Amino acid sequence: MMALFNYNRAMDQYKVSIIEKSARIATLAHNDQMRKDGNVPYIVHPFMVALKLQKYDFGEETIAAALCHDVLEDTDYPPDQLRTNIGEKAYKIVKTVSYNYSLEWHDRKMAYIESVRKGPIGAKAVCVADKIHNLESIFIAYEVQGPALWNKFNKGKEDKLWFEESVLKMLKVTWDHPLIKEYESLIKKEKSLK
């Protein structure tokens, strides 16, 4: 923990940008993690989510949150340290899109949807970019693994589709952005998979 404190202090001393801080935090926090297909380092995912949002000129707090969007739920990085390093606005986005794993699967998914629904635009942006990249990753993995891919998820394809469609429905009534249409088209493609 002392090394983490010293590292954070050094970033502050040299006035590292919020985006670089977030990139460093995400890289360190997800250091040994792999994606569900087991062939890709996890860190690729937050970078792809951030790049999708950068393409649409979202602000630095939203990009920073995209880089750190899985840090709270998937790593042991201290929440108070994350808030200090990326600031309150980016932290609120990360918190909004983080699952509450104390809840059962269905309740957890419903709580996530409600959190994003009530959350800031940045949270909606991170949510949809995250879902888009997850679906793109599924299509790549499906090419290799076929229907066996669904076994890697906590629930099967039908429950996954229910969740995707529920997120889409919420986004369509709370926000208007081209990313939503992209997400909708990917869900249609997901439905066609066996």
pLDDT tens-place string over residues 27-66: 999 999 999 877 899 999 999 999 999 999 999 999 999 9
| pLDDT confidence bin for 150, thresholds 50/70/90 | confident
**What percentage of the chain carries pLDDT values higher than 90?**
83
- Mean pLDDT over all residues of the chain? 92
Q: Three-class SS string for the chain?
A: CHHHHHHHHHHHHCCCCHHHHHHHHHHHHCCCCECCCCCCECCHHHHHHHHHHHHCCCCHHHHHHHHCCCHHHHCCCCHHHHHHHHHHHHHHHHHHCCCCCCCCHHHHHHHHHHHHHHCCHHHHHHHHHHHHHHHHHHHHHHHHHHHHHHHHCCCCHHHHHHHHHHHHHHHHHHCCCHHHHHHHHHHHHHHHCC
Quote the pLDDT of residue 13.
62
Domain regions of the chain by residue span:
2-192
pLDDT at 62: 98
Return the pLDDT at 1.
Answer: 46
Q: How far apart are CA 65 and CA 93, in angstroms?
A: 6
pTM of the predicted model, to two decimals?
0.93
* Cβ neighbours around 56 below 10 Å, total: 12
Domain 2-192 has CATH 1.10.10.10: no
pLDDT digits (tens, 9 = 90+) for 58-113: 999 999 999 999 999 999 999 999 999 999 999 999 999 999 999 999 999 999 99
pLDDT of residue 37: 73
Residue 5 has pLDDT above 70, yes or no: no
User: Is the predicted pLDDT of residue 181 greater than 50, yes or no?
Assistant: yes
Query: What is the model's pLDDT at position 154?
Result: 80
